[in-house]
Structure 1
Amino acid sequence: MKHSIIALAFIGAVAARPTALLTKREVPQEHSHENIVAAVNTALQLNNPDNIQDAVFGLLGAAAAIKGAGNIADADCLQQATADQAFTNAKAAGDITGMTNALIFRALERNTGTVGLASVPCQSITAVNPEIAALQQHQDPAGTGAQDLNKQIAAELARQIAAVGGDPTLANEASTFAPGQVDDPTGAGNSCDDADDAAGCINSQKLRVDDLSNDEITAAVADVQAGASANATQAAAAANQTAAADCEGAADGEAAAGNAEAAGNAQSAFGACNPAINFGIPSDGRQQDAFEPADLATFNHGSALNIAVISNFICSQLSSKCSISADAANLCDTAAAAATGLSGQQAADAFNSALGL
């Protein structure tokens, strides 16, 4: 019903002043990736404290977006807020596909006023999930430098998808259209917009221009890919509620507890900080084994399925949070490298042992 109202309002506006409208705005494309929009809307509605009316509003221009923004005051942050809540809900359910869709949604291009015009970045709200905070929306490829920027966005999206155990090649699902003509008086570009195409008209009509080749995706996720496939397997195993899985979870919990105890003997090089990483059922509600900082008071970060997400965060925060020496900072980088390519408790042990914990 909401989609019909939006469509009727747009048709009415065209009938009232067709020339003025078409020369001032780009033709809508908010439903071009309807497969992602619908999936994210389903995840969003599982828990929607900000009363966002529909995920599609996050892809509209600010004037239209604010009408469905609920409690989100900044329409230019609605796309991020929608993705962030959908990711939170999927994460709580241990749903890797849901988390992946939320990440893709955050990177989709928003509607803008004319062909080639860049959309406004979100600056007033910080995403709760660092995976969402690491991303930004694609820009109209007709804009100056936009195609290079979009490749960078896609590469970061691939890394974030891999880090949660998803398929990084799905980063191309956020790719947009071929660039249109900036001086096109119709504002049509090369887009499509069909709320009834469940696969996404950009896919069905073969209008999507992928940002990255397979080789570029492989290179982008080289530092996280090794753990992603193993973590995807762990996620599938966690979904199997068998007695054996329960026993394994208990064993992992004991290992994590032992790891936390060892972290209490952190080297004096780190002062009062404890940079150790735990592996097991985390404290943030994720219902599967994952990595998280042992010292959440100092290193406040949600759990992750790949240790690189946590180790990189801890190492980046050590100098500012713990007043450590350059040697201690280098030691953390060495520990992060030691865990590369490993998974599960083995990765956590490698990181902690390299730190002397």
Structure 2
Amino acid sequence: MSTSMKSLMILFLAAMATARPLSRREVPQEHSHQKFIATVAASLAANNPDNIGDPVFGLLGNKAAAQGAGSIKDLDCLQQAIADQAFTNAKAAGDVNGMTAALVYRTLERNTGSVGLASVKCTSVKAKNPEIAALQQHQDPASSGAAATNKQIALELAKQIASIGGDPSTAIQSGTFAPGQIGDTTGKGKTCDDQNDPTGCIFTQNLLVPDVTQDEINAAVGSAGGSAAAAPSASAAVAASSSAGIAAAPTATAASSSNQASTGTCSSSTGASDSATGANAATNNNASTSTTPSTSSLDLGSCKNASPFIKFGAGFDGRKENSFEPADKATFNHGSALNIGVVANFICDRLNDPCKASQTTLDTCKSAASAASKLSGQAAADAFNKALS
């Protein structure tokens, strides 16, 4: 071999040895949901104490994942660790989209060595954030029981997204591909992978197979005391994912027109007064002291003794930061949310059904929800409450 050829060979081997770890893949699908990975990467960059590499490492098989695991020892828990830290960072910044992306990322399918092989669950470490701890990754759609497992994962994801004030329909976008053929020696199944696609090829190539329907999300979120209002249909959610951004929290106008499935009967409640003070990094920097009204002069239908108002303060549902929740949780059974629109729209939905409030009241509630969504903190709650008093 000539000297020049030897030199070229040495350069080639050196390049191979220093090639970016992300170029080595087991089953090529890790960039399929790229928009969520990119958002998680941005959140993780704010504080990365374990020195984890790109979030895509958490979706690789363990051999490849080890190259970007930082100080994480259990590689089966790398995906959870990334999601947990990204969620923590996004929560500190009051970034609902960032928190939503972290939740979705936690449920994405991990690569495995062959079609039909399920990935190992993380059991050695519990996530710090209960929203992340409640989730697990999708499994290979060709693996045993995958359809039922993945459906439950998507429904739980929808409930967790709703709990932070995000759009629960985003859970549809966590789905994976159609089942591959068992025995496929390439290990690819029916996947795609394009790290140059900022949205994710599973969306742009229309390869996503939804695990759940919008009606199933509505029912699951409703049973958990949340609202899936403003959520598009499954097909619409997939189509909307062609844009690079994640689905944002629902708007008041869209939410008020949804067909929210709700159960339970109205109960008499005077509504406890509540004063909320303090700074809120997520929604307000200068929260003022205010008293929540107890009764409304509007026609509330069969819920005439209810209190259709919203409280703002710290400590709701164990939260450390300030958030919003219904003043009358007996009638408006909804958890706290960082986004007032989530709670306001739920109250409007309940006034429509089962309360059967007058049209004037429903129109007032819709307008109040829309106006409050443009404000923050106590000012948002006061605006909504004043309109419905």
Alignment of 1:131-150 (within 5 A): 131-150=131-150
Aligned to 2:288: 250
CA distance in 1, matches of 2:92, 2:316: 15
RMSD, aligned CA? 3.5
Aligned to 1:130: 130
The gaps in structure 1 that reach 5 residues or longer are 11-24, 256-278, 283-289, 294-300, 309-334, 348-357
CA distance in 2, matches of 1:141, 1:50: 31
Q: Secondary structure at the match of 1:89?
A: helix
Shift of residue 185, structure 1, vs aligned partner: 2.1
Alignment of 1:87-126 (within 5 A): 87-126=87-126
CA distance in 1, matches of 2:99, 2:125: 20
CA distance in 2, matches of 1:182, 1:304: 50
Aligned to 2:21: 6
Task: Answer whether contact 2:282 2:322 (CA < 8 A) is retained.
Answer: no
Shift of residue 176, structure 1, vs aligned partner: 0.3
Shift of residue 32, structure 1, vs aligned partner: 0.7
Aligned to 2:162: 162
Alignment of 1:329-340 (within 5 A): 340=333
Alignment of 1:1-357 (within 5 A): 5-6=20-21, 8-9=23-24, 27-224=27-224, 226=226, 249-251=287-289, 280-282=312-314, 291-293=316-318, 340-341=333-334
Q: How many residues are treated as equivalent by the alignment?
A: 261
Q: Secondary structure at the match of 1:221?
A: helix
- How has the CA–CA distance of structure 1 residues 59 and 135 changed in structure 2, closer, same or farther, with 3 Å as cutoff? same
Greater share of helix: 1
Deviations 1:203-233 (A, max 9, x none): 0111001111111111110035656779978
Aligned to 1:326: none
Task: Answer whether contact 1:166 1:228 (CA < 8 A) is retained.
Answer: no
CA distance in 2, matches of 1:233, 1:94: 18
Q: Match of 1:99, as an amino acid? A: M
Q: Match of 2:93, as an amino acid? A: A
Q: Match of 1:5, as an amino acid? A: R
- How has the CA–CA distance of structure 1 residues 151 and 343 changed in structure 2, closer, same or farther, with 3 Å as cutoff? closer
Q: Secondary structure at the match of 2:89?
A: helix
- How has the CA–CA distance of structure 1 residues 181 and 228 changed in structure 2, closer, same or farther, with 3 Å as cutoff? closer
CA distance in 1, matches of 2:19, 2:225: 42
Q: Match of 2:185, as an amino acid? A: P
- How has the CA–CA distance of structure 1 residues 180 and 94 changed in structure 2, closer, same or farther, with 3 Å as cutoff? same
Q: Secondary structure at the match of 1:251?
A: coil
CA distance in 1, matches of 2:131, 2:282: 26
TM-score of the superposed pair, with normalisation by structure 1: 0.64
Q: Match of 1:142, as an amino acid? A: A
- How has the CA–CA distance of structure 1 residues 190 and 161 changed in structure 2, closer, same or farther, with 3 Å as cutoff? same
Deviations 1:302-352 (A, max 9, x none): 6695769xxxxxxxxxxxxxxxxxxxxxxxxxx97566148689x9xxxxx
CA distance in 2, matches of 1:336, 1:72: 42
Q: Secondary structure at the match of 2:171?
A: helix
Task: Answer whether contact 2:317 2:335 (CA < 8 A) is retained.
Answer: no
Task: Answer whether contact 1:141 1:178 (CA < 8 A) is retained.
Answer: yes
CA distance in 2, matches of 1:32, 1:58: 13
Structure with the bigger RCO (C-alpha within 8 Å, sep 6+) is 1
The gaps in structure 2 that reach 5 residues or longer are 1-17, 231-248, 253-279, 293-310, 344-389
Aligned to 1:18: none
Greater displacement, 56-65 / 224-233 = 224-233
CA distance in 2, matches of 1:246, 1:86: 23
